[in-house]
Amino acid sequence: MNRRTVSVLFVCTGNICRSPMAQGVAEIMAAKLNKSMMFDSAGTGDWHAGEAPDPRAVEAAARRGYDIADQRARALSDEDFARFDHIIGMDAGHKRWLVTARDVRRLEERPVSMLMDWSVGLAGKGVPDPYYSDDAAFEHALDLIEKGVDGLLRRV
């Protein structure tokens, strides 16, 4: 039987911290579990389009074995709602923005959730934005992202 590849899009504000880290974590974890899945990430805006992830995100991810250095930021497009099976925001603001964008633009119905909704015991929680904080905030964000991605991969 040929299984269909499940596709997941992670979304944060600028696509330079949380969503690229989530994409990198998901790619490695899915490969280790031999899951046929495709991952990408995007931002709610295009402020950083074409830029590499924040160097602090790259370093934090690398310390845990995730290489996100070659990713490039992009803004969410209307076509993403047709391309991806799951669209996952990093916090409640992203989820609201995604649902509103989907509904107002009358885009393809796709499940929109928050990453931590997939984790055990942390549903409804957001992954805090580490951008305006220190290295410890990037580590904390990665801790949560790993938990959320683990739950996602167990349930999809």
Which residues are the active-site residues?
12, 18, 129
- Residue 59 CA to residue 62 CA, distance in Å, equals 5
What residue type is assigned to position 101 of the chain? A
- Which DSSP string corresponds to 4-59? PPEEEEEEESSSSSHHHHHHHHHHHHHHHTT--EEEEEEESS-TTTTPPPPHHHHH
- Residue 135 CA to residue 84 CA, distance in Å, equals 31
Starting from the edge strand earliest in sequence, which strands make up the sheet with 6-12, in order? 37-43, 6-12, 86-89, 112-114
Residue 53 structure tokens: 């992830």
